Amino acid sequence: MGLMTSGALRKGPLKPVGELLNYSRKYSLWMFQWGLACCAIEMGVALAGPRYDVMRLGVIPFPASPRQADLIVISGTVTDKMAPAIRRLYEQMPDPKYVISMGSCANCGGPYWDSYSVTKGIDQVIPVDVYVPGCPPRPEAFIQAIVMLQERIQHEDPADRWQGKGWEPIVVGQ
């Protein structure tokens, strides 16, 4: 742990070790699915549908508990009643952890921008790595989000992640 957080994997003789580590993390993303609304069905199609099949990219959607997950996908409308639960389960995830916000509702409230019970954006509750716009986004957009996140993981320095750097979000399609 100390090795990772010290920044020694960034350069010098241990750089290949850091790259190997990133490469392994990239292709074994254990994903906690937080399916909330319409987007959940599209996420399900992307995961379980034979046509899309995200598992071929090394995303494993099996953990039913956030404690074994590296990635959490918030797909759908987040309500004020739900938001505390999301925060709580996010905090249970081990570091380094990644968040994909899928769909307009999770991004900014979407069509419920003036509702009295909808949280206008999940980024008010937890930090977001990748935003996927769309209402709902197509499964292809979700796959693109996974690919972009994997690129970020490949090129990032684990130390930065631990120190809270490198949070600039990616927006799919931009």
Partner 1 sequence: MTAFDVDPKLYSPLADSHLNVELDTGDMVLNIGPQHPATHGTFRLVVRLDGERVIKADPVIGYMHRGYEKLTEYRTYPQVTTLINRIDWLSSFANEVPFIAAAEQLMGIEAPPRALYIRTILTEMARISTFLLFLGEMGLQVGAITPAFLGFRDREYPLNLIESATGGRFHPNFNRIGGIKDDLPWGWIAECRNTMRKMLDSCDIFEDLVLGNPIFQARTRGIGIIPAELGAAYGVSGSNIRASGVDWDLRRDGEPLLPYNEIDWKVWTHQDGDSYARYWVRLQETRESARMILHLLDQMPSGPIMAKVPRIIKVPQGETYVAAENPLGEMGYYIISKGATGPFRVKIRTASFSNVSIMPWLLQGIYVPDVITVLASLYFILGDIDK
Partner 2 sequence: MKTRPIVGRAKAGNRSSLASDEITSPGDAVDQDSVADQDSAVVTIDVAELSAEHADLLARFTGEVGADAVIESGVAGRELVVRIEPAAWVSAALACKTKLGFDYLGFVAGIDWLPTPAAGGDDAEGDTSAPVQPKDMTFGVAGSAGRFQVFARVGSTKVARYGITLKADLKESAPHIDSWFSVYPGADWHERECWEMYGFIFDGHPSLRHLYLPHEFEGFPLRKDFPLLAREVKPWPGLVNVEAMPGVDDEEGGD
Choose the one of partner 2, partner 1, none that binds residue 41, judging by a C-beta under 5 to 8 angstroms depending on kind: partner 1
Among the listed ranges 18-26, 93-101, 108-116, 124-132, the one in contact with partner 1 (CB under 8 A) is 108-116
Question: Which of 117, 124, 154, 163 forms a contact with partner 1 (CB under 8 A)?
Answer: 117
Which span sits near partner 2 by CB under 8 A: 4-12, 46-54, 107-115, 156-164?
A: 107-115
Q: How far is the CB of 126 from partner 2 (least distance, A)?
A: 19
Query: Within 13 Å and on the Cβ side, how many CA atoms surround 125?
Result: 26
| Whole-number Å distance between alpha carbons of 47 and 41 | 10
Q: Is 125 in the site for partner 2 (CB under 8 A)?
A: no
Q: Are 137 and 42 in contact (CB under 8 A)?
A: yes
Told to check if 67 binds partner 1 by CB under 8 A, we report no
3-class SS at 118?
A: strand
Count of residues touching partner 1 (by CB under 8 A): 32
| Tokens (6 digits) for 118 | 């909808």
**52-85 per-residue burial string, b: 16 or more CB within 10 A, e: under 16:** bebeeeebbbebeebeebbbbbbbbbbeeebbee
Question: Smallest distance, Å, CB 41 to partner 1?
Answer: 7
For the chain, the C-alpha Rg in angstroms (whole number) is 16
| DSSP secondary structure code for residue 56 in this structure | G
Token digits of residue 70: 């590296």
Q: How far is the CB of 84 from partner 2 (least distance, A)?
A: 9
Stretch that binds partner 2, among 112-120, 123-131, 141-149, 161-169 (CB under 8 A): 112-120
Residues that bind partner 1 (CB under 8 A): 34-38, 40-42, 44-45, 48-51, 64, 76-77, 79, 81-82, 85, 89, 111-112, 114-118, 135-136, 138
